[in-house]
Structure 1
Amino acid sequence: MVKKVQPVTHQPLIATSTNISSEQLLNDLHYQQAKQIIQTLLNKGLISPTEFKDIDSLNKQSFPPLLGPGNVDTSSLQS
């Protein structure tokens, strides 16, 4: 039996002139790890959705993620 493989389509990456520092990478890593932990707590019912949002907000302040809402240029995106 031969399976037909669908081609993967994607948008090309757009180069930016901003260099990412080691500190920014570590902050993003720590934020992602913290988010996984609180997501697990939420999924297990150990925290409420409101507590999840509050903790996530504090984590974003402590570990600013690279792709936060303020760091993404959406001016070229079409609706």
Structure 2
Amino acid sequence: MRLKQLTSSNQTLSNEPLKITDEQLQNELNFHLVEKMFIKLREEKLISQEEFNKISKLNRQKFTPLLGPLMCDKP
């Protein structure tokens, strides 16, 4: 897979492909599995939207996913 990383200064694509380690890939998978589980809990009204948002934020901090921030509605 070839990904390109946004630069923080001007938010344009860099020319260098982003190299993903096995650990980063595992973190990405873990993030999405945990997120899916908490979405299910929210849908079943076992947790509130506010609780979900807090958990989701912690989840992003713990696993630092590459795609997670792009796929969530709360920064």
Alignment of 1:31-46 (within 5 A): 31-46=31-46
RCO comparison, higher one (Cα < 8 Å, 6+): 1
| Aligned residues between the structures | 57
**CA-based RMSD:** 1.8
**Structure 1: 4+ residue segments shifted above 3 A:** none
Q: TM-score, normalised by structure 1?
A: 0.65
Sequence identity percentage: 39
Compare the two structures and name the one with the higher helix fraction: 2
CA shift at 1:68, angstroms? 3.9
**Rounded Cα–Cα distance in structure 2 between residues aligned with 1:55 and 1:15:** 27
Unaligned segments of structure 1, at least 5 residues: 1-13, 71-79
For residues 33 and 69 of structure 2, the distance between their equivalents in structure 1, rounded to whole angstroms, comes to 18
Superposed counterparts of 1:6-17, under 5 Å: 16=4, 17=17
Equivalent-residue separation in structure 2 for 1:15 and 1:33 (angstroms): 21
The C-alpha deviation readout for 1:10-60, integer Å capped at 9, x for no partner, is: xxxx76311101111000000000001000000000000000000000000
Higher relative strand content: 2
Given that 2:27 and 2:64 are in contact with CA atoms closer than 8 Å, whether structure 1 keeps it comes out as yes
